[in-house]
Amino acid sequence: MSDLRTELKQSIIEQLNLEELTIEDIDNDDSLFGDGLGLDSIDALELIVLLEKDYGIKLTDPNQGKEIFISINKMAEYIESHRTK
Amino acid sequence: MSRAVYITGIGAISAQTEESIFSEKPAVYTSNIFQAISPNFKEYIPAMALRRMSKAIKMGLTAGKIALQDANVELPDAIITGTGEGCKQDTEKFLESMLSQEEELLTPTSFIQSTHNTVGGQIALNLKCSGYNVTYSQESASLESALIDSVLLLHEKPSLNSVLVGGVDEVSNKITSFGFLNGFLKQEEIENLSLFSHKSEGTITSEGAFFFNLTTENKKDSYAQLKAVSSLKAESSIEVSEKITEFLLKNSLRSQELDIVFLGKNGDLDQDEIYDELQNTIFSESCQLAYKHLSGDFNTVTGFAIWLSCLIFRKQQIPDILKLNAVSGANPKNILLYNLASNTNHSLILLQKP
């Protein structure tokens, strides 16, 4: 379980060019948007692509992202129950 | 009646620094493609915004902010940008992922950032400037077009306090190296400082961003008056010579009154022939300077010469590394920048001591 969370943090740092951050800087419950990591709407699009590319999860309703991309824990839980690869 | 336009702030990022040129210790490169020297971009751009910016955006935004700081302007009334080839790094990234991922699951960032007007847009976003914002992309006339629009805007609305105008172009892995295939770049790798002694076709290239704050008010620390800008087509040195004379006459000048001519010689055997003829005729009495052995040649590189001219007016010093002849050019009043690209695209920028 923790491997998936570490993998997600690594992917997010690489995909979103968060060069200043390391895996240790991101807590599993930190908010990804707003006051947490401070991600924005372009990052949300990148995360939607990341879900499909790495885990075979296709979000048909972009509004779903608001619930899934709350934190690393929430993302991991969603991936664990919906992944196709 | 149109008002005079002055340059009151300058910002430049290039393969050289002000100190390296004016201390006669220019940076030396041994490749025909070389990169600009990056300042600490974090001092100018928040980390979260910086992370997805390509070099052109970082350079353009930073040079723009340096020019505004230099002019003590917080918010310009307009932002006008010239770029010959736009954001090539993101264009390449986007095209490469299209190929490698067979046009599926493409990430949006590089596509969004790949458009030519990204630099002007990012400057506006950073400064929260909702004023006039236009980007010109006309190859070697891109910066000149931006300058012409700036002057027209200030003539139309002389009450504007500040027009931020500049040019930016970046190096990218693939697209820039195509210059080896189409003859733009020299086939043999050379050292930049020896550019004018290699009698071969082609040139060297690099990248940079050059921004200027323009206003109609002549302030005590104005760098220069931007007297006139023109881009024109001509096929022969005789035709160019006539058009330069005509341009100067329109500005009540004769070629003998040009203290300095900044020539865009780029070491290309064919193209430099036109410069050679002008150097021996209408420019023979002026101090002749060249700069592309320091900056490399690219579409908006005349910004480098504008920046250098402003510094020459301010410092009253002409670095020897720029000189092509022995005419002194001391205490210059009139500087003409003449550039030629693709053998037929000429540009003229006339600067006057304010």
Q: Which of B40, B42, B109 to mutate to probe the A interface, most A CBs <10 Å? A: B109
- As a whole number, mean pLDDT of residues A62-79 equals 91
Instruction: Say if B128 is an interface residue toward chain A (CB within 8 Å).
Output: no
Instruction: Say if B115 is an interface residue toward chain A (CB within 8 Å).
Output: no
The answer to whether B105 contacts A38, with C-beta atoms less than 8 Å apart, is no
The answer to whether A49 contacts B51, with C-beta atoms less than 8 Å apart, is no
Quote the pLDDT of residue B106: 83
Q: For B108, which of A19, A38, A42 is closest by C-beta distance?
A: A42
Cβ-Cβ contacts under 8 Å between A and B: the total is 26
pLDDT in tens, A17-60: 898 889 999 999 999 998 888 898 889 989 999 999 999 999 88
| Residues of chain B neighbouring A42 (CB-CB closer than 8 A) | 52, 108-109, 112
Chain A residue with Cα closest to B113: A42
Q: What is the CATH number of the domain that holds A25?
A: 1.10.1200.10
CA distance A32 to chain B (A): 13
Chain B residue with Cα closest to A43: B109
Q: pLDDT band at A2, cuts 50/70/90?
A: low
The answer to whether A20 contacts B47, with C-beta atoms less than 8 Å apart, is yes
Sketch out chain B's domains with CATH numbers: 6-215 (3.40.47.10), 228-352 (3.40.47.10)
Cβ(B333)–Cβ(B353) below 8 Å: yes
Quote the pLDDT of residue B60: 98
Split into its structural domains, chain A has a count of 1
| Residues of chain B neighbouring A45 (CB-CB closer than 8 A) | 107-108
Quote the pLDDT of residue B109: 87
The answer to whether A52 contacts B47, with C-beta atoms less than 8 Å apart, is no
CA distance B103 to chain A (A): 13
Q: For A53, which of B52, B105, B108 is closest by C-beta distance?
A: B105
Instruction: Say if B250 is an interface residue toward chain A (CB within 8 Å).
Output: no
Q: Is the pLDDT of residue A78 over 50?
A: yes
Q: Is the pLDDT of residue A62 over 80?
A: no
Quote the pLDDT of residue A1: 47
Q: For A38, which of B48, B105, B112 is closest by C-beta distance?
A: B48
Quote the pLDDT of residue B99: 92
Residue-range definition of the domain harbouring residue A30: 2-82
Instruction: Say if B49 is an interface residue toward chain A (CB within 8 Å).
Output: no
Q: For B52, which of A17, A38, A52 is closest by C-beta distance?
A: A17
Q: ipTM score of the complex?
A: 0.77
CA distance A47 to chain B (A): 9
In the predicted model, residues of chain B with pLDDT beneath 50 are: 1
